[in-house]
Structure 1
Amino acid sequence: MASINVRKDTGKIFLDFRFRNIRCREQTELKDTPANRKRAQNLMDKVQAEIMLGQFDYRTTFPNSTNLKKVEACADAIASSSGQIPSMANFAALWFNENKVQWRKSYTTSVTNVVEGRIIPYFNQIPVDQITKQQVLAFRAHICQLKKRNGEAFSPSHINRHMKLLRAILHEAADRFAFTSSYRGVKPLKVPKSDIKPFTPVEINLILDNCREDFREYFLIRFFTGMRTGEIDGLKWKYVDFANRRIHIRETIVDGEVSYTKNDFSQREIHMSEPVFQAFLAMKQRTFEFDYVFVNGEGNPLEHNAVTKRVWYPLLNSLQLPKRNPYQMRHTAATLWLASGESPEWIANQMGHANTEMLFRVYSRYVPNLTRQDGSAADRMFSNVMGVVANA
């Protein structure tokens, strides 16, 4: 049912109606007065009449509307159902609107940047079934030539993320309109193995002894729990179990939005070692009145970019330590647990991994005695076995 409403924050009238099964809200510059309500109602009646007659032109009526993309994408979908193949611009917009409901805010933002900023401008009005493999590869070459703000080229993994979205769009279009996707046979760029750089015990103590006093517990807990940035920044006091010395990981915060953890395996309980337990007790004296364990001066959750740029990197620089991103604290926790001889299955659980595969693949080289290659571990095992046989 169409209606005339008023925004509480601005006091201005807006129109609320449905078009092509899409709910549309169009802001006006009219203040809420009887005369303006009458003007708005006349406009609404005109819109409704044109919709009923099939004569409504959204772009003409609301040329600056933010709803244009999704409305026109819907129109394109309707046209395609009658045998017309949509352009990449229209189908990509339709694909985006259909899928964004399942994405986090941060991921939606990154997809928007790629789809609206790169894919649509490049392919634009080319019908999706006429995009060739040569054009797909040319698009990848185009992305490879782009530069970051600092002048550096994009990494292979960054380029692969662009291509992954293009592949998804083309494959979906191919399924709907019964043509062969031009993306078939296009392989991702080879991504170099990530180089992790965990901190040594000496470096850890150097950092904790010289960091800002209000961040000591924050860094200590990161070093000794392996929590991801979004997990520790979004940690609430209700998830800190002092009685059982457990940290319940249930939420994460990214770009100010609280959401479900990275995946189901990330829902876990992390054991508090004694240093971590004492760090939480210290924090309890300072921030227990707030929802979040770690807060800024206004009592809001920490913003990771601000912490990284204003606290973390300046600290490393002052200590003349190699520049490493804060995520290396998570890697440090994993290598410390492995070096201590803890069960790999237990460590994988603490890290939020599905199994031990990533643990051994990424971290084992930092623990010389974990996977010995000189045969000594096997010699001891075989000797023990032979000793049992001889005494049988």
Structure 2
Amino acid sequence: MNMPYYKDAKQGTWYVKLSYIDKFGDRQYKTKRGFTLRKDAKRFEDDFFAKLHEGEGTDYLSFTQLSTYYIEWYSDRRKPSSIKTMNNYINNHLNSYFKKMNVYDITTKDILDFHKHMQEKEFRGKKLSKGYIQDIHTALSSILSYGIKFHDLKANVASLAGNIENDEETSWDYWTLAEFERFYAMLDDVFMRAYFRLLFFSGVRHGEQRALTWRDINFEEGYINIDKTNYNGKVHKPKTKTSKRRVYIPGHVLDDLSEYKAWYQENRPYKDDYVVFGSFYQSIGETTIAKKYDKLIEETNLKRIKIHEFRHSHASDCINRLRMDRETLAKRLGHSSSITIEKVYGHLYPSTEKDAISGL
């Protein structure tokens, strides 16, 4: 057996060269010089490996294997959009850090080191926001909780360590009613008028609007019925029960939809279970809408907001112009609680009675 101890002929001392597998599953090498006696080099080796394996149990399950088990379990219980997000957290961030680390040996210090790594990391040329890192930590905690339930993990060290503090303000942009009307005035296409007017004045999620069929529009009662969403070209049930709802819309939006429906019936095959914004059962693609939208924005000096921010624009309009209360807005947007409204839009609500009556 080859011993890792060597005599430095020039210095007259001993040195040791060690090879080992670190907790991430990667091979590492270490050289230590300057030992007077060979037995001192041997003692260093013994102490080094004793500390390296201190506290290690006999069980072994790599983090990557646990995350594989978890995503299989998770995929049977969640919607495709949630599964895609979880896979992103695991494949792009968690597995690349924890790798083959034994989940039974992960400590709270390892979690804190992970937090530091994530705050220093660049992904696709940008630093990760603290809110995004918090989401990744939550995913990690969920994986370890699964490990406790199904793989005899003793503790959730992610939960014990706690999440990072987030002192960043959530930022999103929106249009006022006046800004939207400037945008709307540029639209000379019956499809685009109906599409963007409904998006702004209903506050529905983009996927919910793309999944609408003609039977979902009640022209007599003045509402649209939301009971599905389009994600990646496929129609799915909404994430939550509260996402299923009726959303009442103004008369001028119904007028645009009526005009568009007349055009649709003249130019395309029509059945009441065909999608409103598309052909037959196929919704218009998100990329197609984005290209049309970007082209329009280039023709004006309006600030560009994201398609999703039409929903924020509607919420802002409901709060600032219509003085809609939190509970009503939460129900309209499909949230289960007004707590979400307070978290996302609370800063838009008047903080005093004096502010509240200023619009009267």
Q: Same fold (TM over 0.5)?
A: yes
2:179 matched to which residue of 1?
A: 203
Which one of the candidate residues 244, 269, 293 is aligned to 2:276? 293
Deviation at 1:362, TM superposition (A): 4.1
Equivalent in the alignment of 1:170: 144
Q: Are the counterparts in 2 of residues 252 and 261 from structure 1 also a CA contact under 8 Å?
A: yes
Is residue 351 of structure 1 aligned with residue 351 of structure 2? no
Match in the other structure for 2:223: 246
CA distance in 2, matches of 1:293, 1:340: 28
C-alpha spacing 1:299/1:208, structure 2 compared with 1 (3 Å): farther
1:182 matched residue in structure 2: 157
Count of residue pairs brought into register by the alignment = 292
Q: Distance in 1 between matches of 2:208 and 2:167?
A: 27
Aligned equivalents of 2:343, 2:115: Cα separation in 1: 29
Distance in 1 (alpha carbons) for counterparts of 2:154 and 2:259: 63
- Output the CA distance in 1 between the equivalents of 2:302 and 2:89: 35
Question: Which secondary structure does the structure 2 equivalent of 1:340 belong to?
Answer: coil
Q: Report the CA distance between 1:221 and its aligned residue.
A: 0.7
Query: Contact 1:287–1:294 (CA<8 Å) still a contact in 2?
Result: no
> Aligned match of 1:103 in 78, 82, 85?
78
Q: Distance in 2 between matches of 1:145 and 1:341?
A: 42
Taking a change above 3 Å as real, the CA distance of residues 375 and 229 of structure 1, as seen in their structure-2 partners, is closer
CA shift in 2, pair 1:271/1:371, >3 Å: same
Percent of aligned pairs with the same amino acid: 19
1:340 paired to 2:316? no
1:295 is matched by which residue type in structure 2?
G
Equivalent residue of 1:374, what SS?
helix
The CA distance in 2 between the partners of 1:111 and 1:344, in whole Å, is 30
| Corresponding residue of 1:153 | 127
Q: Say which structure, 1 or 2, has more relative contact order (CA 8 Å, 6+ apart).
A: 2
Contact kept, 8 Å, 1:129 with 1:181, in 2: the verdict is no
Instruction: Look up the SS of the partner of 1:258 in the other structure.
Output: strand
Q: Deviations over 1:171-215 (max 9, x none)?
A: 322343152232212223416332343312221111111135131
Residue in structure 1 matched with residue 168 of structure 2 by the alignment: 192
Say if 1:252 and 1:340 are closer, same or farther in 2 by CA, change over 3 A.
same
Aligned to 1:35: none
Q: Unpaired runs of 5+ in structure 2?
A: 1-57
Cα offset for 1:271? Answer: 1.1
For residues 116 and 376 of structure 1, what CA distance do their matches in structure 2 show? 48
Letter paired with 1:135: D
TM-score (norm 1): 0.66
Q: Residue 181 of structure 2 aligns to which amino acid in structure 1?
A: N
1:66-105 equivalences in 2 (<5 Å): 84-105=59-80
Query: Is the alpha carbon distance of 1:366 and 1:98 closer, same or farther for their aligned partners in structure 2, counting shifts above 3 Å?
Result: closer
CA distance in 2, matches of 1:358, 1:86: 38
Compute the displacement of 1:365 (Å): 4.8
Task: Note if 1:374 corresponds to 2:354.
Answer: yes
